[in-house]
Amino acid sequence: MLDIPLWKRVLILGVVAIGLIWAMPNLFYSRVEAHNDALAASEQAGFVTDEQQAAIDGWPSWLPSGLVNLGLDLRGGAHLLAEVRVEDVYKSRMDSLWPELRRSLAEERDVIGAVRRVEGPADELHVQIENGDQMARAVEIARGLASPVVSLTGTGQNDLEFSASGNTLTVRLSDAEKTATDDRTIQQSLEIVRRRVDEVGTREPTIQRQGADRILIQVPGIGSAAELKELIGTTAKLTFNPVIGRGTDAEARAGIGNVVLPSQDENGVFYTVEEAPVVTGEELTDASPSFDQNGQPAVDFRFNPSGARKFGAYTAANIGQPFAIVLDNEVISAPVIRDAITTGSGQISGAMDVEGSTRLAVLLRAGALPAELTFLEERTIGPELGQDSIDAGKIASIVAIIGVVAYVVASYGIFGVFASVAVITNVILVLAFMSAIGATLTLPGIAGIVLTVGTAVDANVIIYERIREELRRGKRVASSIDTGFREAMSAIIDANVTTFIAGLVMFFLGSGPVKGFAVTLTIGLATSVFTAIYFTRMMIVIWLDRRRPKELVL
Amino acid sequence: MAFRLKLVPDQTSFNFFRWQKYTFGLSAVLMALSVILLLTMGLNFGIDFRGGTTIRTESTTAFEIGDYRDALTAIPDLGDISITEVFDPTFGEDRHVAQVRIGATEGMEAMTPEQIGQVETALKEVDPNVTFAAVESVGPKVSGELIKTAIYAVLAASLGILLYIWMRFEWQFAVGGVVAIVHDVLLTMGIFSALQLRFDLSTIAALLTILGYSINDTVVVFDRLRENLIRFKNMPLVEVMNLSVNETLSRTVMTAVTTAIALFALFALGGDVIRGFVFAMLWGVFVGTYSSIYVAKNIVLWLGVKRDWSKPDPDKLPEQFTESP
């Protein structure tokens, strides 16, 4: 027990040394961060500027450059929890199904008679059929439009459900299809939110799916949650719709298939437009901020080939008619078509400033969100408050370490020094491990580390107290130490496993501050067992070999 | 002989059961009191658990809470407003911090940016030097879920610990350990209710840590108890327990003191943002230590425990079987 083989010594020292090297970059936080940022930026751009080269040279590349991520509460930034309104998509599915269904039913007009869409809930399509007694035939035709759902759970089900009452045919999405659609909607929303945040180019944003229909967005360094919300909260659904009329009455009767939309910059003006768009923003390939002929900020855009073809055909057929450019249910402008536009490019101008046109271009490039987002939770932490917390945390940690070291050394003498070395090593190992896996350090996380300083001593204390007891029984020094370590093992393991259980629960069930705390606490537990059982023992064994004390006061 | 700081003498033989009626009674009374406090005064829930918005303002000049309040009550459609000034010894002369809390309003998720903008402009009007260090807003939907997961977390941790101790020891130990945990959690919630300290997500983290710390302490005593039960087969249970607690007392105090030193550094110097969190943990170290000495083993004594550990773990044989060097 008391002679540790050489390979074990090398291994223990190796772990400690690796810990030191991995933790070291955190001492030079800003320099390493600049190095990492410059490296990432230059890799993405494909070339290196002089400034970037200087930053890259600021930290030797052969040293590890992993850093502990600072949480939002330490770095400052914005946190948003958004819920995706997945039902929005059901409506647009129904709206786009209607023309198709109308065409299919019209083919058998002589049997079914005339059909028209009537009002119904947003996620259902209600169709009235003239010859109610031919409903069975109508349902049969409608069924032809359904297709099987491709998903793991919903196999064998069709995407559409049909029911009939009287002469009304009702179409809705099946549950399996709703689940599949929801999943797609969230994935799409995640992707688009990510693209939008990336366009702004901040460091290490966190964009995660949470639960069934939520997205968690954390962006360090951004000024406020409101700013972030403006960027990702806008649906940015751009459509080009035929204009039916223009008026000043918001309650004007639009007729089935048409909607009344407000104008963005003409107060009190409303346009009645066809709900089905000619072209949508999805067919844009590019958008960039520019200026119109009057020097006002505008956005240039370009369609993809199919969009350009549709737009060209529509404009050619409707010369002299107005069409509306609609963004998020507001008419930005409604120009009159003078010529067929076949080049596939155009310009949006309206009441906006340069900032607005830049943002609109970003939004159009990143694509429209498939559904609206509702924000359930938002937090902004100013960078100064974060810096204050870091400073306070640093001072508190140092004072805590000094206090604990003083107390332990006063209690156990040279063995106290060993315990202190172990405790400090422990903090270094926690930081090293967190840097290596890129874990995030939060303010409660700092508290977790400080607490670990207190509890890491515990394993040593259990061992030392045991050694004291053995010495008191009149055993020899080496024998006491040996027994002390062995007898203490079961208490150390039991004690740490129970705390570990609490830590794991916190990690998996907790969110935000609880999670940050759990990370450092559990890592600290694991490393403290290592330092107490292996590192302290090695120090003591080496000391025993050198001194060979006849008696020991502990 | 070298100097050694010893808060606990080498050999102690306190009778920890002598005042058992009083200590156990005190625990029971305090637990009952905590429940009553929780039912009558309730907890001062932070926005994490009841929704709403908090704004941390910082200003270089002194301000009047009344002025802030007047400025905010003028804004329509705002929930109930509470403003507290934050004092901290680490703040300099020219640092005045306030915590503004705006309750959630009916049917609203997070506050709209327009409303937050209105609040910020209104405050800037009465105090041009004010800056907004942190703005946090939680909708009622999320806060309801957060409270649910928090309760699940505490229950799941207790259950996990119960199962582990049951597996490693006997069921009586598991019950004793869990009663001690419940004792600590209740007393902590009780003091949060009595002092009306803000109870939020980080308090839950503190509760879970207290739970871990307290059980850690208890398990060390249990471990020794198990060992002594094997060694002294014929000693009355009360005496074996007293012996075990006395033998581990030095360690119990040592660990409590080191942890308290570390936490106290954080409490005094860690800033006001986490002070509540650290307070909960300091309190937890105190009640956790108390409960492992005075609560957990009393339950085990009361439940009785098997005395015939005929198949002990080979690793934990008494010392006479270990070889001398």
Instruction: Tell me the per-residue pLDDT of B62-81, one tens digit each, with 9 for 90 and over.
Output: 888 888 888 888 887 777 88
Total structural domains within chain B: 2
Residue B13 lies in a domain: no
What Cα–Cα distance (Å) separates residue A30 from each residue in A37, A70, A309, A440? 10, 12, 52, 16
* B320 pLDDT more than 60: no
Tell which CATH classification among 2.40.50.320, 3.30.420.40, 3.40.630.40, 1.20.1640.10 matches the domain A6-71+383-547: 1.20.1640.10
Q: Phi, psi at residue B266, to the nearest 5°?
A: -70, -35
Both B211 and B101 in one domain: the answer is: no
DSSP labels, A393-445 = HHHHHHHHHHHHHHHHHHHHTHHHHHHHHHHHHHHHHHHHHHHHHTPEE-HHH
Q: Using DSSP, state whether B52 is helix, strand or coil.
A: strand
Residue B9 lies in a domain: no
Q: Residue A131: how many CA atoms within 13 Å on its side-chain side?
A: 15
Residue B214 lies in a domain: yes
pLDDT for position A150? 66
pLDDT for position A426? 92
Asked if A554's CB is within 8 angstroms of B4's CB, the reply is yes
Q: Using CB atoms, which residue from B250, B258, B278 is nearest to A457?
A: B258
Question: What residues contact A127, with CB distance under 8 A and at least 6 apart?
Answer: A101, A105, A115, A116, A117, A118, A138, A168, A169, A170, A171
Domain end among B93, B122, B138: B138
CA distance linking residue A313 with residue B223, whole number of Å: 84
CA distance linking residue A339 with residue A311, whole number of Å: 12
Asked if A483's CB is within 8 angstroms of B141's CB, the reply is no
* B318 pLDDT more than 70: no
CA distance linking residue B313 with residue B47, whole number of Å: 50
Provide the token pair at A87.
């039902």
CB B236 within 8 A of CB B310: no
CB A140 within 8 A of CB A168: no
Provide the token pair at A492.
């150390």
B220–A contact, CB cutoff 8 A = yes
CA distance linking residue A326 with residue A117, whole number of Å: 24
Asked if A514's CB is within 8 angstroms of B254's CB, the reply is no
Q: How far is B56 from chain A (nearest CA, A)?
A: 9
CB B281 within 8 A of CB A450: no
User: b/e for B125-135, b at 16 or more Cβ within 10 A?
Assistant: ebbeebbbbbb
pLDDT for position A15? 93
Separation of first and last alpha carbons in chain B = 26
| Closest Cα in chain B to A475 | B324
CB A422 within 8 A of CB A456: yes
* B285 pLDDT more than 50: yes
Both B245 and B190 in one domain: the answer is: yes
Helix boundaries (H) for chain B: 20-40, 47-50, 65-73, 113-126, 140-168, 171-194, 201-231, 237-269, 275-294, 296-303
Both B160 and B262 in one domain: the answer is: yes
Domain end among B102, B120, B138: B138
CA distance linking residue B297 with residue A154, whole number of Å: 55
Question: pLDDT, tens digit, for every residue of B50-61?
Answer: 888 888 998 888
Q: How confident is the model at residue B323 (pLDDT cuts 50, 70, 90)?
A: very low
**Which parts of chain A have pLDDT scores under 70?**
1-2, 150-156, 201-203, 351
Both B95 and B200 in one domain: the answer is: no
Average pLDDT, integer, range B36-56? 89
Both B40 and B57 in one domain: the answer is: no
Provide the token pair at A531.
């330092």
- How many C-beta neighbours within 10 Å does residue B282 have? 17
Question: What residues contact A80, with CB distance under 8 A and at least 6 apart?
Answer: A216, A217, A218, A225, A228, A229, A232, A375, A377, A378
CB B230 within 8 A of CB B195: no
Question: What residues contact A394, with CB distance under 8 A and at least 6 apart?
Answer: none
- According to DSSP, residue A263 is labeled B
pLDDT for position B322? 43
Range of the domain at B261: 20-44+143-308+316-321
CB B69 within 8 A of CB B20: no
Asked if B132's CB is within 8 angstroms of A510's CB, the reply is no
Both B163 and B69 in one domain: the answer is: no
Fold of A234-377: Gyrase A; domain 2 (3.30.1360)
Helix boundaries (H) for A264-382: 305-317, 354-366
Both B180 and B298 in one domain: the answer is: yes
Question: What residues contact A179, with CB distance under 8 A and at least 6 apart?
Answer: A151, A153, A154
* B2 pLDDT more than 70: no
Tell me whether the CATH fold assigned to A87-176 matches the one assigned to A234-377.
yes
DSSP labels, A161-172 = EEEEETTEEEEE
Residue B11 lies in a domain: no
CA distance linking residue A359 with residue A21, whole number of Å: 43
CB contacts of A458 in chain B (<8 Å) are 216, 251, 255, 258-259
Provide the token pair at A104.
């299919």
* pTM for this entry: 0.78
DSSP labels, A122-134 = TTEEEEEES-GGG
Mean confidence (pLDDT) of chain B: 84
Both B87 and B199 in one domain: the answer is: no
Both B151 and B297 in one domain: the answer is: yes
Q: How many contacts (CB atoms, under 8 Å) link A and B?
A: 265
Provide the token pair at A477.
């020094």
Task: Write out A57-102 in H/E/C secondary structure.
Answer: HCCCCCCCCCCCEECHHHHCEEEEEEEECCHHHHHHHHHHHHHHHH
Q: Using DSSP, state whether B41 is helix, strand or coil.
A: coil
CB contacts of B135 in chain A (<8 Å) are 224-225, 378-380
Which of A320, A331, A165 is closest to A241 using CA atoms? Answer: A331
Q: Using CB atoms, which residue from B4, B263, B269 is nearest to A413?
A: B4
pLDDT for position B109? 63
Task: Specify which residues B58 forms β-bridges with.
Answer: B97, B131
Name the architecture of domain A87-176: 2-Layer Sandwich (3.30)
Both B302 and B171 in one domain: the answer is: yes
Residue type, B58: E
CATH assignment of the domain containing B213: 1.20.1640.10
Both B69 and B29 in one domain: the answer is: no
Q: Using CB atoms, which residue from B5, B264, B322 is nearest to A483?
A: B322
Residue B7 lies in a domain: no
Domain end among B138, B161, B193: B138
Residue B6 lies in a domain: no
CB contacts of A496 in chain B (<8 Å) are 216
Chain B, residues 67-106, CB within 8 A of chain A, namely 90
Question: Which burial class, exposed, middle or buried, applies to A164 when counting CB atoms under 10 A from its CB (0-12, 13-18, 19+)?
Answer: middle
CB A350 within 8 A of CB A332: yes
Average pLDDT, integer, range B38-46? 90
Enter the ipTM: 0.84
Q: Phi, psi at residue A163, to the nearest 5°?
A: -150, 155
Chain CA centroid to CA B265, Å: 17
Torsion of Cα atoms, A347 then A348 then A351 then A352, to 10°: -80
Separation of first and last alpha carbons in chain A = 20
Residue with tokens 């003028």: B74
Q: How confident is the model at residue B324 (pLDDT cuts 50, 70, 90)?
A: very low
Structural element, H or E, at residue A346: strand A345-349
Residue type, A467: I
Provide the token pair at B65.
């809470």
Both B79 and B148 in one domain: the answer is: no
Structural element, H or E, at residue A262: strand A258-262
Q: Using CB atoms, which residue from A382, A450, A517 is nearest to B266?
A: A450
CB A239 within 8 A of CB A225: no
Per domain, the residue ranges of chain A are 6-71+383-547, 87-176, 234-377
* B43 pLDDT more than 60: yes
Residue B15 lies in a domain: no
Q: How far is A468 from chain B (nearest CA, A)?
A: 9
- How many C-beta neighbours within 10 Å does residue A66 have? 17
CB contacts of A520 in chain B (<8 Å) are none
Residue B2 lies in a domain: no
Asked if A381's CB is within 8 angstroms of B133's CB, the reply is yes
